[in-house]
Amino acid sequence: MRKIKLTALLLSIAALSTACTGQSENVTSAASGVTGEITISCYDTAASQAFLEEAARKFEETYPGTNVHIDTFSQMPEIKSSEQEGEQRTVILGEDDPQGRADYISKISTSLMSGEGADLLAMDVLPIDKYVQSGQLENLKEYMDGDSSFQKSDYRGNIINGLEFQNGIWFLPLDYSFNYYAYDSTLMADQTTSELGVNHAFTSNQLIELGKTAFNGENRILSAPAYISDGNGDLFSRMFREKYKEFVDFENQTANFKDGIFEELLKTISDMADQGYIAKGLRNTTDTGEYRESAENPTDRYLFKTKNNFSLVKETYPDPDLALMVSTSMVDNGIETDDEIGGMWSDEGNRVPFTYEQAYGINSNSKNKETAWAFLKFLLSYEIQSSPSMSLLSLPVHNKARMAKAESLYGMLLTESGELDEAQRQALNAYTDAVEVMSDQINGYTVRDTTIEDMVIKEAGYFFDGSKTADQVAQVLQNKVELYLNE
Amino acid sequence: MNKIKKHSAVLFLLPGLLGFTVFYILPFFISLGYAFTDKAVNGTFQGMKNFVDLFHNKAYLKGLFNTCKFIAVSVPLNMGAALGLSLMAKGIKKRKDLFTLVFLIPLVIPSGSMAFFWSSLFADQGVLNGWLNMLGIGKVRWLDSGTAFWIMVLIFTWKNLGYSMVLYIDGLNRIPHDYYEAAWIDGAGAGDIFRGIILPLLQPASILVLIMSLINSFKVFKEIYMITGGYPHDSIYTLQHFMNNMFASLNYPKLTTATAVLVTVMTVFSQFLLKLERKASS
């Protein structure tokens, strides 16, 4: 079970989102073809519904004669409120639902098969590679190049260009996130910290090697445990993703789990756990639940920990109250009060990847592609990108909106009036500088396939619980993934 | 009189035939067009290439091999077991109906319930591994090793045994009792009667059981899919997995090509068997 814990902050964000109406830019409907009905389909109700409904309302106001339907699938997560030490806390519990995902994919695939389907498809769980290969998605590169009203320079070029796959750009993200490493400055020697900072990028292996110099057996090198059964925040999943391209080649439809690299990966992680560099694996949902609970009240210190870009707020404005408010971690990162930015997370091919919360592609079957493209552009516009209903955990792809959002985020987190004092403004500048410098290093997006990842994570679990050898796991995966790719 | 009978037969057949044509035959022929294009959306005609590629597709060949292997093992096993049970049922004097009914129960259990039952039995943390654990034996990955094939055979046999048995009982009941009496008077033993009377006279029933078992062998996929998903252990990846996965991944050209091949083979094969059955009956 995946538990998503957020703090009271999110409740206040939600309240702010509904209260804030935003300043509409009153765009005139210059494009006469932008009319009629379109439908957007997405799996993740919690992440998309409120945002899309608000955007749809504004779009319909801007383009009279249009009608946008939102079709979401997953159940809304359960929200629990409690009071701890006099503070109101909100916990959002969302359960991972592989069957629900499979049902959704099946539903979408069936509708596409019959020549129908939503005009815009959210790329949250759909098998992008399969849809691209079967020609179900429009090449948005052609749309961007052929539309003078779309200014690519308004957006982060490395994010959009990083999406190129099979000679096209098949979907556009509204936001992006990246992971970085932080280090505990009380545990690291000065000569080691000189190798760390916002301009650096490391793979997990490089970081562990670096950490070995400061490892004394008391504090673990990395906060991530060897294996978590839901594949979320563990070292195995991370290192698998770092080497993803070595194992899965979509272009040539080949799998490569049997040349020893995958077996070596499993054994290396297991050895790291044996030597105390990382915690052992979490094999079942009970273990995972306890682990997530311990993330709430950390007592240990780790040399390195992985964080999401949102945590940069804490790094730039070290305040214990703020630290509690922006606690979004699903993993136990230990005590974070002395953390400094260590560098970006990179994969084995020196690629610094990014992820996104929301991204959309246009269905090739759409009867109203012009309006679908207009709505997608609208979602990418400054007005929508700077809207408080966009996720606060990720960064808008629109450059000006990213700055505006940072300012409103700091105003909301650090002040009651929204006006920043000198120290707070310095912290904001440090934050935006760090975000931009770190974002500049991003140079790719790995098209991953949830079916393959589910296979790999499930099968790796048999190695970590001792019921299969690395060789057996590699053999099974070789057969299954190759079969999947060659179907 | 015969003319009236023929007309009424046509009238009775018409609703079913209409439904079958509208919901099965027509969609099949409409979708067949995909088998000659490179992709479903804006595809171009490419002749027989998909058919040639299909027989070079590793996944398809694996599914074909496993399906043939499964049929080769499970159909004779099912027929043999059903024949044995029907002979037992024939010999039973009391509670004969109850005996038959027990084997028919799996036919009325919904697939979802069946999948839940088998899954609970063979799961890693399932009942069987619980018993093995109590005996101090390590757990077996029933569904994730070579044993998965035999579980598929077991599920098929469990589900179809009763139906095949009923067909055989009907066939046995059609053999005149006089034949057995004449054989006994001539001093024939049980083995002689089985070989000389039962087997030859059961030929029409056997062919019918064979056809039904063949068709049902393709239907076992539903339960297997519910238990093990789209990418099960290598040994139980069948043609239906291939086709279902093609559907899920929107590869309609491959899906319709595989379907066309399967329908052609099945049509030819069942026509051949039906001819045999008619010949045996006459």
β-strand pairing of A254-255 with A248-249? antiparallel
Predicted confidence at residue A295, as pLDDT, reads 66
Mutation target among B62, B231, B245 for the A interface, most CBs of A within 10 A: B231
Are A279 and A379 found together in one domain? Answer: no
Residue A442 lies in a domain: no
Calculate the CA dihedral of residues A11, A16, A17, A19 and round it to 10 degrees: 130
**Which residue does chain B place closest to A485, by CA atoms?**
B59
The owner of tokens 């004394």 is A216
Calculate the CA dihedral of residues A177, A181, A186, A191 and round it to 10 degrees: -140
List of residues 6+ apart from B229 with CB closer than 8 A: none
Calculate the CA dihedral of residues A62, A66, A67, A68 and round it to 10 degrees: -60
**Which residue does chain A place closest to B38, by CA atoms?**
A134
Predicted confidence at residue A159, as pLDDT, reads 95
d(CA B135, CA A49): 52
ipTM for the assembly:
0.76
Give the single-character DSSP code of B198: I
Angle between helices A98-113 and B239-248 (to 10 degrees): 80
Average pLDDT in the B232-257 region? 89
Angle between helices A45-62 and A8-19 (to 10 degrees): 20
* AA identity, residue A317: Y
Residue B50, CA distances (Å) to A23, B11, B241, B242, B255 in order: 55, 41, 18, 15, 10
Among A274, A8, A482, smallest CA distance to B62 is for A482
Taking phi over 0 as left and psi of -120 to 50 as alpha, with beta for the rest, A151 belongs to beta
Contact A109 B237 (CB under 8 A): no
The closest CB to that of B41, out of A365, A479, A483, belongs to A365
For residue A364, the domain's CATH number is: 3.40.190.10
d(CA B227, CA B148): 11
> Which domains can be identified in chain B, with CATH numbers?
47-281 (1.10.3720.10)
A256 vs chain B: nearest CA distance in angstroms? 16
| Chain B residues inside the 8 Å CB shell of A135 | 39-43
Are A71 and A193 found together in one domain? Answer: no
| Chain B residues inside the 8 Å CB shell of A476 | 144, 233
Give B271: exposed, middle or buried? Use CB within 10 Å, 0-12, 13-18, 19+: exposed
Domain, as residue range, for A139? 8-175+358-391
| Chain A residues inside the 8 Å CB shell of B57 | 486-487
Predicted confidence at residue A91, as pLDDT, reads 61
Number of domains in chain A: 2
**Residue, of B92 and B264, whose pLDDT is higher:** B264
For residue A278, the domain's CATH number is: 3.40.190
3-state secondary structure of A361: strand
pLDDT per residue as tens digits for the range B208-218:
999 999 988 88
Are A78 and A170 found together in one domain? Answer: yes
Predicted confidence at residue A42, as pLDDT, reads 94
Residue A78 tokens read as: 């359960």
B75 vs chain A: nearest CA distance in angstroms? 27
Interface contact A479, partner B, CB < 8 A: yes
Predicted confidence at residue A446, as pLDDT, reads 80
d(CA B237, CA B243): 11
| Chain A residues inside the 8 Å CB shell of B124 | 467
pLDDT per residue as tens digits for the range B161-180:
999 999 999 999 999 989 99
Predicted confidence at residue A25, as pLDDT, reads 40
- A:B CB pairs within 8 Å: 69
Contact B247 A109 (CB under 8 A): yes
Residue A476 lies in a domain: no
- Residue A174 contacts residue A51 (beta carbons within 8 Å): no
Per-position pLDDT tens, chain A of length 487: 333 333 333 433 333 333 333 333 444 444 468 899 999 999 988 888 899 999 999 999 999 999 999 999 887 777 667 666 666 666 666 666 777 888 898 889 888 877 889 999 999 888 888 888 888 899 999 999 999 999 999 999 999 999 998 889 999 999 999 999 999 988 887 767 788 888 899 999 999 998 988 888 888 999 888 998 877 778 999 999 999 989 998 878 899 999 999 999 999 999 999 999 998 866 555 565 666 666 667 778 899 998 889 889 888 887 766 655 555 555 678 888 888 899 999 988 888 999 999 999 999 999 999 999 999 999 999 999 998 888 888 999 999 999 999 998 888 888 877 788 888 899 999 999 999 999 999 998 887 787 898 899 989 998 998 888 999 999 999 989 988 888 8
How many residues make up chain B in this entry? 282
Residue A456 lies in a domain: no
Calculate the CA dihedral of residues B159, B162, B167, B171 and round it to 10 degrees: 140
| Chain A residues inside the 8 Å CB shell of B249 | 109, 127, 130, 134, 487
Give the single-character DSSP code of A354: -
Return the sign of the alpha-carbon dihedral for residues B27, B33, B34, B35: positive
Are A123 and A256 found together in one domain? Answer: no
Residue A314 lies in a domain: yes
d(CA B65, CA A93): 46
Are A195 and A153 found together in one domain? Answer: no
Q: Rounded to an integer, what is the distance from CA A427 to the centroid of its chain?
A: 24
The closest CB to that of B250, out of A131, A451, A484, belongs to A131
Interface contact A90, partner B, CB < 8 A: no
Are A111 and A186 found together in one domain? Answer: no
Put simply, whether the predicted model's pTM sits higher than 0.80 gets the answer: no
The closest CB to that of A136, out of B41, B58, B247, belongs to B41
Are A106 and A137 found together in one domain? Answer: yes
Contact B41 A364 (CB under 8 A): yes
The closest CB to that of A480, out of B41, B231, B250, belongs to B231
- Residue A358 contacts residue A173 (beta carbons within 8 Å): yes
| Chain B residues inside the 8 Å CB shell of A462 | 141
Adjacent-strand bridge partners of A339: A184
- Residue A454 contacts residue B231 (beta carbons within 8 Å): no
d(CA A121, CA A372): 10
Give the single-character DSSP code of A38: E
Among A476, A451, A468, A455, smallest CA distance to A267 is for A468
The closest CB to that of A109, out of B233, B237, B248, belongs to B248
Residue B279 tokens read as: 């010949």
Mean residue pLDDT across chain B: 89
Give the single-character DSSP code of A162: T
The closest CB to that of B246, out of A479, A483, A487, belongs to A487
Among A458, A129, A101, A454, smallest CA distance to A283 is for A458
- Residue A476 contacts residue A459 (beta carbons within 8 Å): yes
Are A184 and A288 found together in one domain? Answer: yes
- Residue B245 contacts residue A105 (beta carbons within 8 Å): no
Are A371 and A310 found together in one domain? Answer: no
Residue A431, CA distances (Å) to A15, A233, B255 in order: 25, 24, 52
Q: Rounded to an integer, what is the distance from CA B89 to the centroid of its chain?
A: 23
Give A450: exposed, middle or buried? Use CB within 10 Å, 0-12, 13-18, 19+: middle
Residue A87 tokens read as: 């503070």
Helix (H) or strand (E) segment spanning residue A308:
strand A302-308
List of residues 6+ apart from A129 with CB closer than 8 A: A165, A250, A447, A449
Last residue of a domain, one of A312, A345, A378: A345
3-state secondary structure of A332: coil
Q: Rounded to an integer, what is the distance from CA B214 to the centroid of its chain?
A: 4
Residue A173 tokens read as: 């993200």
- Residues of B at the A interface (Cβ-Cβ below 8 Å)? 39-43, 57-60, 62, 124, 139, 141, 144, 230-231, 233-234, 237, 242, 245-252, 254
| Chain B residues inside the 8 Å CB shell of A482 | 58
Predicted confidence at residue A90, as pLDDT, reads 63
A184 vs chain B: nearest CA distance in angstroms? 41
Give B250: exposed, middle or buried? Use CB within 10 Å, 0-12, 13-18, 19+: buried
3-state secondary structure of A190: helix
Calculate the CA dihedral of residues A308, A309, A313, A314 and round it to 10 degrees: 30
d(CA A286, CA A214): 33
**Which residue does chain A place closest to B254, by CA atoms?**
A487
d(CA A61, CA A150): 20
Last residue of a domain, one of A313, A345, A377: A345
Q: Categorize the per-residue pLDDT at B67 as very low, low, confident or very high, splitting at 50, 70 and 90.
A: very high
Contact A486 B144 (CB under 8 A): no
B42 vs chain A: nearest CA distance in angstroms? 8
Predicted confidence at residue A9, as pLDDT, reads 39
Residue A434 lies in a domain: no
Residue A106 lies in a domain: yes
Query: At CA A92, angle to CA A438 and CA A126, rounded to 5?
Result: 65
* H helix intervals, A441-469: 450-464
* AA identity, residue B65: F
Are A212 and A85 found together in one domain? Answer: no
Are A26 and A128 found together in one domain? Answer: yes
Give B135: exposed, middle or buried? Use CB within 10 Å, 0-12, 13-18, 19+: exposed
Residue A469 lies in a domain: no
Are A189 and A53 found together in one domain? Answer: no
d(CA A367, CA A38): 9
**Which residue does chain A place closest to B138, by CA atoms?**
A467
* H helix intervals, A297-381: 312-316, 320-325, 369-379
β-strand pairing of A78-84 with A87-93? antiparallel
Contact B231 A451 (CB under 8 A): yes
- Give B195-199 contacts, CB < 8 A, sequence gap 24+: B198/B87, B198/B172
pLDDT per residue as tens digits for the range B186-200:
888 888 999 999 999
3-state secondary structure of A366: coil
**What number of other Cβ atoms are within 10 A of residue A326's Cβ?**
22
Q: What percent of chain B has pLDDT over 90?
A: 49
Interface contact A116, partner B, CB < 8 A: no
Spell out the SS3 assignment of B19-70. HHHHHHHHHHHHHHHHHHECCCCCCCECCCHHHHHHCCCHHHHHHHHHHHHH
Residue A329 lies in a domain: yes
